[in-house]
Amino acid sequence: MVAVLVGLYLISTIAHLYYLLKKYFLASAVGIGSLICGFLLHTAMLGVSFSSPSTRGWGVWLSAFAWVIIFLYLGVFFRHRDMSLGGFAVPFGFVLEGYASAIPGVWGAGSIEVQGYLLVGHALLALLSGASFFFLFGFSLMFVAQSRQLKSKRPSAWLHRLPSLDVLDDLNHKILYFGFTFLTASLLIGSMWAKSTHGTYWSLDKIRTLPLVLVWGAYGVLLVCRLTRSWKGNRSAVFSMISFVAVVVAFAVHLMMREVMS
Amino acid sequence: MPIILAGVSHHTTPLEVRERFYFPENDMSEWLDQMSQFPSVSERVILSTCNRVELYGCAESYEQGVDAIYDFLMESRGLRHDELAEHLYVQRDEAATRHLFRVASSLDSMVLGEPQILGQVKEAYRIAQEAGHAGKTLTALFSRAFRVAKKVRDQTALGKKAVSISSVAAELAGRIFGTLEDKSVLLLGAGEMAELAARHVVGHGAKTLLVANRTYSKAEALAADLGGSAVDFDDLAGQLARADIIISSTGAPHSIVDPTMVVAALEVRRDAPMFLIDIAVPRDIDPAVGDLENAYLYDIDDLQSVVSSNMKGREEEALQALSIIETEVESYVRRNQMEALSQTFSAIRIEAEAQRAGEVSKTLSRLPDLGEKEHQAIEAMTRAIVNKLLHRPFDVLKKMAEEEMGDDSLSIVQRLFGVEPDDDDLGSGKEGGK
């Protein structure tokens, strides 16, 4: 089943990239069709895995992250009927799922079990915020690319392949709002879990704390500037892309520390 | 039954000749009725637009069909035979099919990919069909042409890129704002091209149109014409902040919009993007405005460059469209051949069975002593002989049709077996005369 799932995401990835380059309608049908099939299969597999604590390993959580990416992309697709975002969301989902599936015993008993409602809630919200910031990065990248196309005065075919600036800016605003809310809620619930388990609200070391604070601070500043100083367009997009670097660093540090401590 | 196309178009004939071929659309069913007085053409559709006049028909004999079309054009349009011979292009079957597919897909249009032609072809067919002039053959041909045109539109970007200054302006505005429905347009000056661009943008749903002119009465007149409102030209800096799209075409000898004014406008607009279209020569908007964040400035050369690039893009897309059409023509012609062959096989079988049954009946009547069992054996044996005799020719004909077989080959086979079709057999719809 895992091979089928990864295969479906691979087909969808190829079709999305081909569509992005050629705008061939058959590629769009194949891309979305295979993605929906893969997503349904993925949902069923995750449902089975999450039904038992013994199968909620690290790989399953990584796979759940891929699931959230695909879920959000499908949401954007059905809302705007635009496949350009899929050009990078689907390949990312595929790589993530491929990596998760390659972890030994991913769909069996894992090395790290996430138990208890607080920790599950914390992890789910962290996944949602991570996926939101990933999408924010994607939309911002597309905004900057589209803006450069228009500024160049010699726009290429990409002008028609990317959504309009207005749509991208609107998506940026919404996804930032959701991403920041998810991250804040995730940190709060994580603290409650730490208090109930370790007797302190913050049990992470400084190395892991700093990137997290940076992520929360960067997106917080961006949100405040958008709401109060009406940051729009290019400036907001560039700031979002820089902030995403902090997300990647935070994620990498967590991975490294997990390896060191295990 | 051969499909015949005869026509003139902007590719082959100058306007002063083309207009003499023109059939007014309002009287089209009468023209079709008149054409039906020439019975050699059994179905007919007339496509008459400003760029082409084409008559599609089908006839038992290609030569007779062409003669009938000549006679109809001489009678109805008062054209001489030598004029028709000079200007009219005549095509049949595969070439005519290919031509119609190209026309419907807008590959034969003056502006590649323009969308109106498909509607005009559909309308021409609809009139003919409702008046009873389009039968089975032309209905199949035109229905396929519409499907091919849709396929070309779906699978290529042939008609997607704008190829006029005003439509490019509207297209670029769309790439900035998405929908123009809640957007405001400020028109500066009253240049003809700027007015056209403003009409285009308003036509795409822009909510508000403001018109500013040094002469206020002129601004009022233009605003009334375009359904907008006149604003004070002296308060240009204030008006800029109200507009998402600024189209400028004044006769000013120097810039009337500078970066400071746009920066102030962007501040008031809380960084909401502005699209500035400067069609004036000399330019109305300082080029440095284009360097400002969230301000997108295009002058006439920039727009012209996009038009040229889009035209080139359409030509590239046309190559892909031509390849789709070739595949479709081949499939359509092959399907028609196979259908005609299948009808011929049926006719041959019926004829052979009639001959066999007649001969068996004669023979059995001369052999009264034979019993039921013997009768059945003779029936079975003669059927087997007929089947065996027909098997090889049918097999060879099928293989020929799969490779390439012209109507002439089929016609020879039909003559050999004595099964030449009449109108009823091959069902080409309406009979000749009305």
Is B45 part of a structural domain of the chain? Answer: yes
Q: What is the CATH number of the domain that holds B61?
A: 3.30.460.30
Query: Å from A151 to nearest chain B CA?
Result: 6
ipTM of the complex: 0.74
Residues B355-386 pLDDT 10s:
999 999 998 888 888 888 888 899 999 999 99
Is B385 part of a structural domain of the chain? Answer: yes
- Eight-state DSSP code of residue A177: H
Count of the separate structural domains present in chain B: 3
User: A-chain residues within 8 Å CB-CB of B298?
Assistant: 153
Question: In terms of domains, do B339 and B236 share one?
Answer: no
Contacts of B16 (CB under 8 A, 6+ apart): none
Is B250 part of a structural domain of the chain? Answer: yes
**Where among B140, B162, B184 does a domain terminate?**
B162
Is B136 part of a structural domain of the chain? Answer: yes
pLDDT at B406 exceeding the cut of 70: no
Query: Å from B93 to nearest chain A CA?
Result: 30
B50 is an active site residue: yes
Question: In terms of domains, do B154 and B172 share one?
Answer: no
Q: What is the pLDDT of residue A109?
A: 45
Q: Which of B154, B155, B177 has its CB closest to that of A166?
A: B177
Picking from B175, B275, B309, B320 by the largest number of A CB atoms within 10 A of its own CB, the best residue to mutate is B175
Question: In terms of domains, do B129 and B172 share one?
Answer: no
Question: In terms of domains, do B83 and B152 share one?
Answer: yes
pTM of the prediction? 0.67
Task: Say whether A232 and B157 touch across the interface (CB within 8 A).
Answer: no
Rounded to the nearest 10°, the torsion over CA A141, A144, A147, A152 is -110
Is B321 part of a structural domain of the chain? Answer: no
Question: In terms of domains, do B66 and B130 share one?
Answer: yes
pLDDT at B431 exceeding the cut of 50: no
Task: Say whether A166 and B273 touch across the interface (CB within 8 A).
Answer: yes
User: B-chain residues within 8 Å CB-CB of A233?
Assistant: 271, 273, 293-294
Average of per-residue pLDDT values in chain B:
87
The predicted model gives B222-246 an average pLDDT of 89
pLDDT at B169 exceeding the cut of 90: no
Omega within 30 of 0 (cis) for the link into B368: no
Q: Starting from the edge strand earliest in sequence, which strands make up the sheet with B52-59, in order?
A: B41-48, B52-59, B3-9, B89-92
Is B284 part of a structural domain of the chain? Answer: yes
**Where among B147, B162, B177 does a domain terminate?**
B162
**Where among B253, B285, B304 does a domain terminate?**
B304
- Eight-state DSSP code of residue B257: B
Question: In terms of domains, do B155 and B213 share one?
Answer: no
Q: What is the CATH number of the domain that holds B188?
A: 3.40.50.720
Is B292 part of a structural domain of the chain? Answer: yes
Is B323 part of a structural domain of the chain? Answer: no
Q: Which domain holds residue B344?
A: 332-364+373-428
The predicted model gives B400-414 an average pLDDT of 71
Q: Determine contact, residues B171/B161, Cβ cutoff 8 Å.
A: yes
What is the helix (H) or strand (E) element at residue A7, kind and residue range?
Answer: helix A2-22
Residue-level pLDDT, tens digit, chain A, 262 residues: 778 988 999 999 999 888 877 777 788 889 999 999 999 999 998 888 777 665 556 677 778 888 888 998 898 888 877 787 788 789 888 888 887 777 665 544 444 555 567 777 887 788 888 888 888 998 899 999 999 999 998 887 778 788 889 889 988 888 899 899 989 998 888 888 887 777 777 766 777 777 788 888 889 988 988 888 777 888 889 989 988 888 888 878 877 776 666 5
Question: In terms of domains, do B284 and B339 share one?
Answer: no
